[in-house]
Amino acid sequence: MPLCTACGKENPEGFRYCGFCAAPLTELPPTGEERKVVTVLFCDLAGFTARSDRADPEDVRAVLRPYHAGLRWQIERYGGTVEKFIGWRCCDGRVRGTAGS
């Protein structure tokens, strides 16, 4: 039975789309790549751009360091993984499931 690469559920033979989440049922490319369902968190530090435009880099870093640490702590506390911080923005790529699991 074909497995949905988006939600991981089995579908009957001949289905072109997943009966559970409507994702196209295609075979995984033989490149070792894997499709995963993730939750992405975008958050922003209100007023930061205006405040940091004229600030010294050291002062900006002094604000960002505890902000990033706090964000990381909160995200990891709920089982998330921080993919990257982009400036004062944060992306949380939380894996919800993998194909075949």
- Residues forming contacts to Zn ion in the complex (CB under 5 A) are 4, 6-7, 18, 20-21, 23
**18 vs 75, which CB is nearer to Zn ion?**
18
Min separation Cβ 61 and Zn ion, Å: 43
**19 vs 70, which CB is nearer to Zn ion?**
19
CA dihedral (80, 82, 83, 89) in degrees, to 10, reads: 120
Min separation Cβ 23 and Zn ion, Å: 5
Q: Residue 77 burial by CB count (10 A; 0-12/13-18/19+): exposed, middle or buried?
A: exposed
Give helix then strand counts, H and E, for the chain.
Answer: 2, 3
**9 vs 72, which CB is nearer to Zn ion?**
9
Min separation Cβ 40 and Zn ion, Å: 18
Q: Find out whether 27 and 99 touch, Cβ atoms under 8 Å.
A: no
